[in-house]
Amino acid sequence: MIPSTVTLLAKDLKLDLRSLENFISMLFFGVIILLIFAFALPIEDDSHEKLAPGLYWVVFLLSGILNLNKLFQIEKENGCMDAVLLAPIPRGSIFLGKMLENIIFITAMQVIMIPLFSLFFFEGLMVHFFELLGLSVFTAIGFSSLGTLLGGLTTDVRFKEILLPILLFPLLVPLLLASVILLQSLVGGNGLFAEADWLKLLIGFDLIYLVVSYLVFDIVMEI
Amino acid sequence: MFQKVIGYLALAGLALSGYIIFLWVPTESSQGYVQKIMYIHLPGVWITFVAFFITFLGSIGYLWKRQEKYDILALASAEIGVVFCTIGLVTGSIWGKPTWNTYWTWDARLTTTLILLLIFIGYLLLRKFVDPGEQQARFSAVVGIIGFLDVPLIHQSVSWWRTLHQTSTMFSRKPSSVVDPNIAMTVWISLAAMTLVFIWLLLKRLKIENEQRAFFRQVANMS
């Protein structure tokens, strides 16, 4: 299972790196949302400190959903989905490959977004760069697990661009709450471990949906 | 036949509960007349959870046995659940204004119910956007299952976030929660009546869906 996952992951990353279309559009979309918030919200610094933890994850979710919508696009456009499904590999490795691709994408994007976020909106984030990046990876695991499952599910569905967030965002509420509160604690100078319960909830959510999505993906991809 | 009997029983139950709610049961001392909305609110929320649980069971049943009847059961129950969920939220809102002095508050159970409503509206939308058939049943079963599995997580996260609701009076065994026996009996009778209404609606919806599918199959065979 692991070799086939790596092969699929390498294929996707190679294709993405060659064109960079997805990555650049995601990144610019994120920056534009950030600018809209900066214009729409009051300019005082102390209000930004309160708003930053929430906004960071809003930007995260809205730009992350772009990649999920495109996740199975390449396969679909060239009719490769059938070929991938026919290959003698477990369906689970298709899931894992796509999910890992998405996590790598999001993490790479956050590496650029965190400095931009502190530049344009709230300086305090840059101080906690590595903790925040780690937290983003954990949020990305839950986000990508459910997102890959639902992204695969909506590939052939009409109005999938709108249906995916409608299905995905309500399910992500526990994850979002946990991430917001952990980031609040980080910005408040208490560190991630001050909110141990939320950390457990975040990791629990990741594990539950990683396993459930992995198991259910088989059913979604039946032909 | 069975459905007709249930229908008349539900009608009688509603008439009876209407009578005892407005004419027989004593008005509650601290909240006054407004408390009577509880006799609609509580059964509404109760039916919501029963209905979504049936959708969950129907979804599992479909993925396990692959028989259309489970899919129809899940669909019918989800539709009724969405209606009762809306009733529960609206009556709760109306009740909240005089007692909590606000129509809406981000209380744990309120928020959980709202998110549940959003998840299952997404479920129904998905059903609309996928063409009828085996794929539709499979996709909706997946969403029905992961949507229901999310409820404990959502509830846990939202209650840590903030809470205001009175603790569950009807089902807790704590000695402190003394309920007037008349009020308790009224609640049970209205619960029973509403459950009969739910069963009647469910049977009706199952019949309609079965007939509709049979009709479409006939049309498809003719052409």
Read off the pLDDT band of B19 (50, 70, 90): confident
- Other beta carbons less than 10 A from residue B174's beta carbon: 9
Q: What is the structure's pLDDT at B177? A: 53
Q: pLDDT band for position B178 (50/70/90)?
A: low
- How does residue B166 score in pLDDT terms, banded at 50, 70 and 90? low
Phi, psi of B14 (to 5 degrees): -65, -45
Q: B135 contacts in A (CB within 8 Å)?
A: 156
Cβ separation of A178 and B157 shorter than 8 Å? yes
B-chain residues near A178 (CB < 8 A): 157
Q: Which of A177, A167, A169 is nearest to B120 (CA)?
A: A167
pTM of the model: 0.88
Query: What per-residue confidence (pLDDT) applies to B159?
Result: 82
Provide the pLDDT for residue A43: 79
DSSP class of residue A157 equals: S
Asked whether residue B37 carries a pLDDT value surpassing 90, the answer given is no
- The verdict on A54 touching B (C-beta cutoff 8 Å) is no
Q: Whole-angstrom Cα distance, residue B53 to residue B42?
A: 17
Residues 6+ apart with CB under 8 A from A144: A68, A99, A100, A102, A103, A106
Beta carbons of B165 and B110 less than 8 angstroms apart: yes
- Which residue in A has a C-alpha nearest to residue B156's C-alpha? A174
Phi-psi region of A189 (alpha: psi -120 to 50; beta: other; left: phi over 0): left
DSSP-based three-state secondary structure for A77:
helix
Give the residue ranges of chain A where pLDDT is below 50.
none
Q: Do residue B146 and residue A212 have CB atoms under 8 angstroms apart?
A: yes
Q: What is the DSSP letter of B32?
A: B
* pLDDT for res A80: 82
A157-171, B7-21, B151-165: the lowest-pLDDT one = B151-165
Indicate the pLDDT class of residue B173, thresholds 50, 70 and 90: very low
Q: How far apart are CA A36 and CA A39, in angstroms?
A: 5
The pLDDT of residue A193 is 81
Residue predicted with more confidence, B162 or B177: B162
Q: Are A139 and A179 in contact (CB under 8 A)?
A: yes
pLDDT given at position B155 = 84
| Length of chain B (residues) | 223
What angle is formed at CA A139 by the lines to CA B136 and CA B85, rounded to 5 degrees?
Answer: 45
pLDDT at residue B176 in the model: 47
Category of A146 on φ-ψ map: left (φ > 0), alpha (ψ -120 to 50) or beta: alpha
Q: Is the ipTM of this complex over 0.90?
A: no
Q: Which of B106, B114, B126 to mutate to test the interface with A (most CBs of A within 10 A)?
A: B126
> How do the residues of chain B divide into helix, strand and coil, expressed in percent and rounded to 5?
80, 0, 20
Scan residues 188-217 of A and list those with Cβ closer than 8 Å to B.
197-198, 201, 204-205, 208-209, 212-213, 216
The closest of A202, A4, A20 to A98, measured between CA atoms, is: A4
